[in-house]
Amino acid sequence: WLLVGRATQGIGSAAIVPAGFAAITTIYPNRYGRLIGLMGAVQASVTLAGAPLGGWLGTWLGWRDSLHIVAVIAVLPVLLGRFTIPGATGQSSTAEPTHLLRAPLVRRAVTQTIVLAVIAFGVSTYLPLLLQTQFLLDVARSAVLATPTLIGVAVGSIIGGVLAERRDTTHIAWLIILAGLLLTWVPFVAAVAVGSALTAAGVGLGLPSQLVAVERIATAAHASKAGGTIQGARNIGGALGVVLTLP
């Protein structure tokens, strides 16, 4: 039953994120870039923080109570969405279907998203292992040193969302990621922590541009499809990132 519940949870999560991106694009067409960046910052931060937080809750409360807490928390966004999100107006329901992956720009954005997600989840998985095995730090200190990584991806996503309305930030993002990855090779704790944070900031900076690029091609009538395409790419990259970094 745990596997069935986890599968149901995954289906719900996969469905709600594209719907959120579509709501932003439809309701706020003139500000969707920065709002997508803000939403991406929240999504990336809580996703990267989820594993260590879940481990802490499971250790102190047990896995049953941890799942109960998650179920209670899940009710809050449902209520907020029901009573605070205005209804969309003017969206055509007879729009022609858009075959997004036929567009070269969309395929490039999907590829970039997968690689960025591999790096993001790879860093978030590898960093605690590195700090505990190579530098012999305990779990508490490792969590503290991983905090800048969460801050980095959040700040990068917000800035990336604002800039994505006017320009493609992908090239700048990759330069920042490269600098961060090189810094993580320096055999000092501070260098590893700063390098990971810089890498995460570069990922956050680059992801909004991929979604904005696909949203512009898809138009508002197919915003959910665009969001689902990019979210699927993030999930694939995240899974690969975790698998590739585990010993």
At 74-113, the pLDDT tens digits run 788 778 877 777 665 544 444 444 577 788 888 999 999 9
- Interval 122-145 mean pLDDT: 82
Tokens of 240: 């690969």
Residues 52-72: what's their mean pLDDT? 71
Task: List C-alpha distances in Å: 63 to 4, 8, 56, 146, 160.
Answer: 16, 18, 10, 23, 36
pLDDT at 74: 78
Say what the pLDDT of residue 92 is.
47
Of the listed ranges 23-27, 190-194, 226-230, the one predicted with least confidence: 23-27
Asked if residue 54 has pLDDT above 70, the reply is no
More confident residue, 215 or 118: 118
CA pair distance 193, 155, nearest whole angstrom: 16
pTM, two decimal places:
0.77
Between 225 and 194, whose confidence is greater? Answer: 194
Q: Is residue 46 scored above 80 in pLDDT?
A: no
Alpha-carbon distance of 54 to 214, in angstroms, equals 33
Picking from 7-21, 177-191, 207-221, which range would have the lowest pLDDT averaged per residue? 7-21
Q: pLDDT at position 206, please?
A: 93
